[in-house]
Amino acid sequence: MVGLDAKFFKRNIGKIKKDSNNEISCCCPLCGDAKNRLHLIHVQADNYNYVKCFNSGCEVEEPTSVFNFLIKLNSPDIDAYKREVLQDKISVIKSEFSLNNLLKKVQKPKVEPTPEVSEVPRTNEVEMPLHHFKLCKDCPECLEYVRSRGLEPLADWRFSTEKFFTFNKKNIYLLDYLIVPIYISNKFKGFYSRSIREKSFSTFLMPDVPKLWRNQPTKKPVIITEGIFDALSIAEPNIGAMIGADLSPKIRSQLTDTIFAFDNDVTGTEKAIKFSKEHKVFVWPETWRKYKDFNELLLDGHTKEEIRDTIFDNVYTGIMAETRLRMKDWQKFKVKLI
């Protein structure tokens, strides 16, 4: 653990639960969490310290520097911290530009500059080996989590048992996360991650890659849901799922004849109204009024075949879909009528 960061971190927090070369843990003074979820973690590969609180909603839920942590905490030690950091830099500068080093630089023979070479275009492939993660089926706790949703993991699903790793030149913290690879035309483009401990998920993709998972990467999905677990709760071999964001008009234009089956809540109803102008959408029947999504149906005893058939029996588009969506449960969902 780098001494300066560790010293100022300890000075600004209370009782320390764990103090090792790579990690310090304690209660979080920002969010008041008393379960020792605030961590100072040293990443050996980058020789850099991250401050992160694992309490959802905390100001330092995303990894940040010690200095940023002190600013959020409004600590009086910020000025002292800056002075010591500056002093370290001054010492480095003095050693770098000592008389002997300067003489060495002067005495070095001049080397002709190498001619400029045009940059080699970057490939569209992601440089992140999936073997970095363990297979989900080989990790009992991850396997139990997926099965608790009434499902079996797909063959390419994996599980992250490490705290930090690098993806697309960014350090990412994913401990105890289910990893679902994302492919386009059978080429790996990133992944969707979901914590098995808490309600937390993130998607990491290369630029300009749509946030869309599909179980058959080379085909257009027949049904697209809001979540991957919802998609797998349907007995349809060619399915997809939106993972965290709306789809661009360009991507949507390629999904003609695809059925969009959103959740049975406020957001899902509003999305269905929006998509119904150009696409087929599923309208939840009154008999399924109490359910929020398709995975809930599966866990409550409905079969995948029953869910699939009900979706196909309740597909609408255009004015017919919009009318049914606005009239159905509009008070419950507070959908504004035009």
Pairwise CA distance, residues 158 & 206, whole Å: 19
Do residues 171 and 217 both lie within one domain?
no
Is residue 316, in this structure, part of any structural domain at all? yes
pLDDT of residue 275: 93
The percent of residues in the chain predicted with pLDDT above 90, rounded, is 38
Is residue 258, in this structure, part of any structural domain at all? yes
Are the C-beta atoms of residues 224 and 246 closer than 8 Å to each other? no
> What pLDDT, in 10s, does the model give residues 210-225?
899 999 988 999 999 9
pLDDT of residue 166: 62
Is residue 87, in this structure, part of any structural domain at all? no
According to DSSP, the β-strands at 212-214 and 239-242 are antiparallel
Average of pLDDT values for 193-216? 88
Do residues 146 and 248 both lie within one domain?
no
| Helices 66-73 and 3-11, packing angle to 10 deg | 20
Is residue 245, in this structure, part of any structural domain at all? yes
Nearest to 283 by CA among 320, 253, 246, 251: 320
Summary mean pLDDT of the chain: 82
> What pLDDT, in 10s, does the model give residues 228-244?
999 999 999 999 999 87
Task: Say yes or no to pLDDT of 338 above 50.
Answer: no
pLDDT of residue 198: 87
Task: Say yes or no to pLDDT of 74 above 80.
Answer: no
Give the Cα-Cα-Cα angle 314, 273, 216 (nearest 5 degrees): 65
Do residues 223 and 198 both lie within one domain?
no
DSSP letter (8 states) at residue 64: B
Are the C-beta atoms of residues 9 and 22 closer than 8 Å to each other? no
Boundary residue ending a domain (160, 188, 209): 209
Is residue 73, in this structure, part of any structural domain at all? yes
The percent of residues in the chain predicted with pLDDT above 70, rounded, is 79
Average of pLDDT values for 276-288? 94
Lowest-pLDDT range of 33-42, 92-101, 309-318? 92-101
Three-class DSSP labels, 104-167? HHHHCCCCCCCCCCCCCCCCCCCCCCHHHCEEHHHCHHHHHHHHCCCCCCCCCCEEECCCEEEE
Do residues 178 and 221 both lie within one domain?
no
Is residue 112, in this structure, part of any structural domain at all? no
Do residues 227 and 312 both lie within one domain?
yes
Q: CA separation (Å) from 193 to 48, 187, 231?
A: 24, 18, 16
> Containing H/E element for 100?
helix 99-107
The two structure tokens encoding residue 284 = 């939840």
pLDDT of residue 24: 92
pLDDT of residue 278: 92
Exposed, middle or buried, 65 (CB in 10 Å: 0-12/13-18/19+)? middle
Do residues 303 and 330 both lie within one domain?
yes
Do residues 199 and 296 both lie within one domain?
no
> What pLDDT, in 10s, does the model give residues 137-185?
999 999 999 999 999 999 989 998 876 666 656 666 778 899 999 988 8
Pairwise CA distance, residues 121 & 124, whole Å: 9
Do residues 177 and 241 both lie within one domain?
no
Total domains in the chain come to 3
pLDDT of residue 168: 59
Pairwise CA distance, residues 85 & 4, whole Å: 8
Which CATH number goes with the domain that contains 265?
3.40.1360.10
Task: Say yes or no to pLDDT of 48 above 90.
Answer: no
- Count of beta carbons in the 10 Å neighbourhood of residue 271: 19
> What pLDDT, in 10s, does the model give residues 301-334?
999 999 999 999 999 999 999 888 887 654 554 5
pLDDT of residue 120: 30
pLDDT of residue 329: 56
Do residues 326 and 216 both lie within one domain?
yes
Q: How far apart are the first and last CA of the chain?
A: 60
Give the Cα-Cα-Cα angle 152, 153, 154 (nearest 5 degrees): 120
Task: Say yes or no to pLDDT of 134 above 70.
Answer: yes
Is residue 84, in this structure, part of any structural domain at all? no
Q: How confident is the model at residue 285 (pLDDT cuts 50, 70, 90)?
A: very high
pLDDT of residue 208: 82
Are the C-beta atoms of residues 265 and 292 closer than 8 Å to each other? yes
Average of pLDDT values for 248-258? 89
Do residues 240 and 310 both lie within one domain?
yes
According to DSSP, the β-strands at 223-225 and 259-261 are parallel
Boundary residue ending a domain (177, 209, 241): 209
Do residues 217 and 193 both lie within one domain?
no
Q: What are the backbone dihedrals phi and psi of residue 78, each rounded to the nearest 5 degrees, phi first?
A: -60, -45
Q: How many residues in the chain?
A: 338
Is residue 100, in this structure, part of any structural domain at all? no
The larger pLDDT score, comparing residue 211 to residue 88, is at 211
pLDDT of residue 167: 61
Q: How confident is the model at residue 276 (pLDDT cuts 50, 70, 90)?
A: very high
Q: How confident is the model at residue 125 (pLDDT cuts 50, 70, 90)?
A: very low
Boundary residue ending a domain (12, 44, 79): 79
Phi-psi label, residue 135: left if phi above 0, alpha if psi -120 to 50, beta otherwise: beta
- Tell the residue number behind the tokens 């991507």, with chain if given: 251
Do residues 175 and 266 both lie within one domain?
no
Q: Domain of 15?
A: 3-79
